[in-house]
Amino acid sequence: MKAEDILRLDREHVWHPYAAVPSGVPVHAVSGAHGVRLTLADGRELIDGMSSWWAAIHGYGHPRLNQAIRDQLDDMAHVMFGGLTHEPAVRLARTLTELTGLDRVFLADSGSVAVEVAIKMALQYAAATGRPGRTRLFTVRGGYHGDTFGAMSVCDPVSGMHHLFSGVLPSHVFGPVPPAGYEEAYLAELAALVGAHADELAAIIVEPIVQGAGGMRFYHPAYLRRLRELADEHGILLIADEIATGFGRTGELFGCDHAGIRPDIMCLGKALTGGYLTLAATLCTARVADGIGVLMHGPTFMGNPLATAVAGASLDLLAERPWREEVKRIEAGLADGLAPAAGHPGVRDVRVLGAIGVIEMVDPVDIAKIQDIVMRHGVWLRPFGRLVYTMPPYACTPDDIAAITHAMVAAATTTSMA
């Protein structure tokens, strides 16, 4: 099909994420993806600085991952997980428990569903352990946990993208946005808030170290350690939403590793399958699982054999490749390449952590204009709010990272002068 035909049918029939109908931002047809590059239907090649929304950490078309899909397809593409099990799922579950130190794995469809399951776990655990009045969660402003209703209820209720639904969502307890640096006063404020609401809290839920789609903020590990202590002091569960931060993105395997803590419940997704198929997981300790008993949730495609097979292959590949060195190299390249944007009149902040690079603008960005500029530099990015940011695949070379940062700086400095 010709590019113009794809785009015409898209305009006539497709509703894109976070967009109106028709979309106010140009849509580009993709004909292929190989390595760290997307090939558009019009023949252009772009370095994917987004890892397809942070998922394709190994790049595209990796032969090991392709073969895992082919091999599994010969056996079965899908089988229900109620009363049945299979090798790819149990192998993946074993690997995840070994990586996280948690005991039980509930396989889900997407990150949002993994958060829904975590919330259900917390509420069921409170009820099953004789504390049915604990029906609220504590979190901090600036967070993002997904687009389904339970997940939306713990996203930032004011500055988040889900404020339109605030009147019909459950009311939870929110602390202030975590500061980037260490502040004793913030630790005290967390302790006071959690203590004041402890009798009604089933769990604390946070994104460890990095607040992703809520603003790409990085915060001090001391805050995460204090939340672990507060959860223990008050008999509250700690939920770590590692959907964006898991599998090496921040420079550690998981965000919690920066603080040296283990949560009671952990949500995983995005990079879990290396960007091949949708799959997520909610893990918990044996104490939580035993306390709950029967968990009232069961996605139709839970434990899908194709998805769990490629996830297992992706984690094997991650274990074999020098991902720490790759992420450190990317971090250094992002820091050097984005430095020229610092101090520009239109730029509020430049920050880098692991394989995450952010230029925060003073004013909201024009997505279409930013994308036009970076595409002319041979790069694909998807800015939002005031942020021009990248989360590139670990397979990117130094030249790829230099191209990404050059495009970001050009976009940030050009648009702010317009």
Residues 142 and 218 in one domain: yes
Handedness of CA 367, 255, 271, 407 (dihedral sign): positive
Confidence label for 207 from pLDDT (cuts 50, 70 and 90): very high
Largest CA distance in the chain: 62
Confidence label for 266 from pLDDT (cuts 50, 70 and 90): very high
Confidence label for 416 from pLDDT (cuts 50, 70 and 90): low
List Cβ<8 Å contacts ≥24 apart for 98-103.
Answer: 99/253, 99/254, 99/315, 100/254, 100/262, 100/266, 100/283, 101/262, 102/262, 102/263, 102/266, 102/283, 102/284, 102/285, 103/283, 103/284, 103/285, 103/286, 103/289
* Helix/strand/coil for 280: strand
pLDDT at 160 over 90: no
Residues 132 and 275 in one domain: yes
Exposed (0-12), middle (13-18) or buried (19+): which is 286, by Cβ within 10 Å? exposed
pLDDT at 167: 81
Catalytic residue among 48, 60, 186, 270: 270
Interval 215-220 mean pLDDT: 97
pLDDT in tens, 10-63: 999 999 999 999 888 999 999 999 999 999 999 999 999 999 999 999 999 999
pLDDT at 417 over 70: no
Task: Return the structure tokens found at 268.
Answer: 């995983």
Confidence label for 165 from pLDDT (cuts 50, 70 and 90): confident
pLDDT in tens, 67-85: 999 999 999 999 999 999 9
Which residues on neighbouring strands pair with residue 268, listed in sequence order? 281
Total domain count, the chain: 2
Residues 231 and 301 in one domain: yes
CA dihedral angle for residue 257, residue 262, residue 266, residue 269, rounded to 10 degrees: 20
Task: Return the structure tokens found at 231.
Answer: 């959860």
Interval 314-327 mean pLDDT: 98
CATH of residue 83's domain is: 3.40.640.10
pLDDT at 52: 98
Q: What is the mean pLDDT of the chain?
A: 96
pLDDT at 415: 72
Q: Where among 287, 320, 353 does a domain terminate?
A: 320
CA atoms within 13 Å, Cβ hemisphere of 283: 23
Query: Is there a contact between 373 and 414 (Cβ–Cβ < 8 Å)?
Result: yes
Task: For residue 27, give its domain range.
Answer: 3-58+322-417
Catalytic residue among 48, 109, 147, 241: 241
**Active site includes 369?**
no
Residues 48 and 109 in one domain: no
Residues 158 and 205 in one domain: yes
Cα–chain center distance at 29: 24
For the chain, state the CA radius of gyration: 21
Sheet holding 30-34, edge to edge: 30-34, 37-40, 45-48, 379-380
pLDDT at 20: 92
Task: Return the structure tokens found at 398.
Answer: 């130094």
Which residues on neighbouring strands pair with residue 66, listed in sequence order? none
Residues 112 and 258 in one domain: yes
pLDDT at 418 over 80: no
Residues 218 and 151 in one domain: yes
Residues 303 and 201 in one domain: yes
pLDDT in tens, 111-124: 999 999 999 999 99
Q: Where among 320, 336, 367 does a domain terminate?
A: 320
Confidence label for 158 from pLDDT (cuts 50, 70 and 90): confident
pLDDT at 166: 76
* Helix/strand/coil for 268: strand
**Active site includes 276?**
no
CATH of residue 388's domain is: 3.90.1150.10
Residues 263 and 316 in one domain: yes
Interval 400-418 mean pLDDT: 89
Residues 169 and 99 in one domain: yes
Sheet holding 136-140, edge to edge: 104-108, 280-284, 265-268, 237-241, 201-206, 136-140, 173-175
Residues 152 and 258 in one domain: yes
pLDDT in tens, 321-372: 999 999 999 999 999 999 999 989 999 999 999 999 999 999 999 999 999 9
Catalytic residue among 60, 125, 144, 219: 144
Looking at residue 44, what DSSP letter applies? Answer: -
**Active site includes 394?**
no
Catalytic residue among 2, 18, 363, 372: 18
Q: Where among 286, 320, 354 does a domain terminate?
A: 320
Residues 90 and 211 in one domain: yes
**Active site includes 389?**
no
